[in-house]
Amino acid sequence: MDIATRVYNHKWKIDPIVRSLIDTDFYKLLMCQSVFRNKPDTQVTFSFINRSDKVPLARLIDEGELREQLDHIRSLSLSRGESTWLRGNTFYGKRQMFRPDFMEWFENLRLPPYHLERKGDQYELTFEGSWPEVMLWEIPALAVLMELRSRAVLNDMGRFELQVLYARAMTKVWEKIEQLRQIDGLGIADFGTRRRHSFLWQDWCVQAMMEGLGGSFTGTSNCLIAMRREVEAIGTNAHELPMVYSALAKDDKALAQAPYDVLSDWHEEHDGNLRIILPDTYGTEGFLQNAPDWLAGWTGIRIDSGDPATAAEIAIRWWQDRGEDPTEKRVIFSDGLDVNKIAELHKQFSGRVKASFGWGTLLTNDFRGLVPDDRLAPFSVVCKAVSANGRPTVKLSDNPEKAMGPKDEIARYKRVFGVGAQERIDVIV
């Protein structure tokens, strides 16, 4: 190692986990642009939630270190090269995906303050402010907490023990890739930024997918890695749009309409492969039943909760009912995937629809079984909008385990969206 590099590295007070504002999911930037255009003044609160009580984050992670990492993120701004890439690159076959007014705003952005407090063995971490700013905290906040937890566990391991740990993890990923290679016509992307073991590990996984899967690897949701590794940046939209739009709805009628308003705004901005319906925020079945006809003309659907095969069958029937040809439609599976599930879904749906896969936590954080007491196993954390302009948000999804929001509001949403009994499915990651 050269002396200059070493001295340079010594200058860091910390080893920063998130080193770039585009070390985030591509759909965050797409949604951010949409929010910047359509709802720039909405005031939101985002909150970090550890769904896994068994992982005592406040005992594992030093509060000072966590603050240093979060403060470091607040010091970041878009670099010239990153800005050039966002402005000049082709995303989903389209040039100038990000408009000049948005880019100018983004170039001047620093992330807003955070609020951190220890509550027992957990941290309460919240972000308040204007929606387009606060929303960009989600991914880096999750990545920091996940990686600090990894570091806490790795901290008391020897150098060769560490090397062997990573050797085992690499072997595990590679064996999965070798299995995936057997699947004809597979299309799969990395969706694992938010709950990754670490940045370097996600970067390794992406490169392994590139070499191991060739053309079957369609890209990564992580913008920084997409830029560096010269692969496609992948992603469309997420639950936060219907959640905030719905919270802002002034009455039940407006609430029932809100999720379609989201897609109506999206429809004006995007076409082609970016027109992907995320139908499960308040129950897939009702959402599709009540959807306007123009939505059936969209390119596809993303299935992110509940039993994926059931949801895909519902979508296929819905397209058929609306006179659409399902074989022309894209179905993106993105919830709790691992190799066997991917193989099974591909077998069931390839040919019937254009199936593809957004593989998340069990790609970038499958350290299960690699250390005693499974202290590196992934766990379920989220960072969600909990209120908008002072009104609470609600998420139901197709799995009651994933429901969020105040009880009375959940009841109201269930009534408005006509959600009946739902199957409970354990949330692993």
Contact positions toward its own copies, by CB under 8 A? 1-2, 4-5, 158-161, 163-164, 166-168, 170-171, 174, 207-208, 211-212
Cβ proximity to its own copies, 164 vs 411, nearer residue:
164
Cβ proximity to its own copies, 330 vs 375, nearer residue:
375
Cβ proximity to its own copies, 123 vs 166, nearer residue:
166
- Given a contact cutoff of 8 angstroms between Cβ atoms, the answer to whether 203 and 225 are in contact is yes
Alpha carbons 59 and 124: distance in angstroms, whole number: 13
Kindly report the backbone phi and psi dihedral angles of residue 252, in degrees, each rounded to the nearest multiple of 5, phi listed first. -60, -35
- Please name every residue paired with 219 in a beta bridge, in sequence order, or none if there are none: 189
Distance in Å, CB of 165 to its own copies, minimum: 9
Distance in Å, CB of 163 to its own copies, minimum: 6
Query: Smallest Cα–Cα separation from 22: which of 86, 70, 71, 87?
Result: 86
Find the length of the chain: 429
Cβ proximity to its own copies, 57 vs 177, nearer residue:
177
Alpha carbons 277 and 264: distance in angstroms, whole number: 11
Query: Smallest Cα–Cα separation from 288: which of 256, 253, 318, 326?
Result: 318
Six token digits for residue 193: 């930024």
Distance in Å, CB of 162 to its own copies, minimum: 10
Cβ proximity to its own copies, 205 vs 331, nearer residue:
205
DSSP H or E stretch at residue 384: strand 381-388
Which amino acid is residue 389, in one-letter code?
N
Q: What are the C-alpha distances in Å from 227 to residues 24, 83, 102, 120? A: 12, 11, 19, 40
Cβ proximity to its own copies, 64 vs 158, nearer residue:
158
Alpha carbons 38 and 43: distance in angstroms, whole number: 13
Six token digits for residue 360: 């998340």
DSSP 15-33: --S---TTSSBHHHHHHHH
Distance in Å, CB of 217 to its own copies, minimum: 12
Cβ proximity to its own copies, 138 vs 203, nearer residue:
203
Distance in Å, CB of 369 to its own copies, minimum: 13
Distance in Å, CB of 167 to its own copies, minimum: 4
Rounded to 10 deg, the angle between the 199-213 and 159-181 helix axes is 40
Query: Smallest Cα–Cα separation from 275: which of 254, 291, 255?
Result: 291
Give all strands (DSSP E) within 90-202, no chain letters.
Answer: 114-119, 122-130, 188-190
Alpha carbons 305 and 285: distance in angstroms, whole number: 12
Cβ proximity to its own copies, 192 vs 306, nearer residue:
192
Query: Smallest Cα–Cα separation from 376: which of 122, 161, 153, 168?
Result: 153
Distance in Å, CB of 229 to its own copies, minimum: 12
Distance in Å, CB of 344 to its own copies, minimum: 25
Q: Measured at the alpha carbon of residue 131, what is the angle toward residues 125 and 133, in degrees to the nearest 5?
A: 75
Distance in Å, CB of 60 to its own copies, minimum: 24
Strand 217-220 and strand 114-119: the pairing is unpaired
Distance in Å, CB of 356 to its own copies, minimum: 22
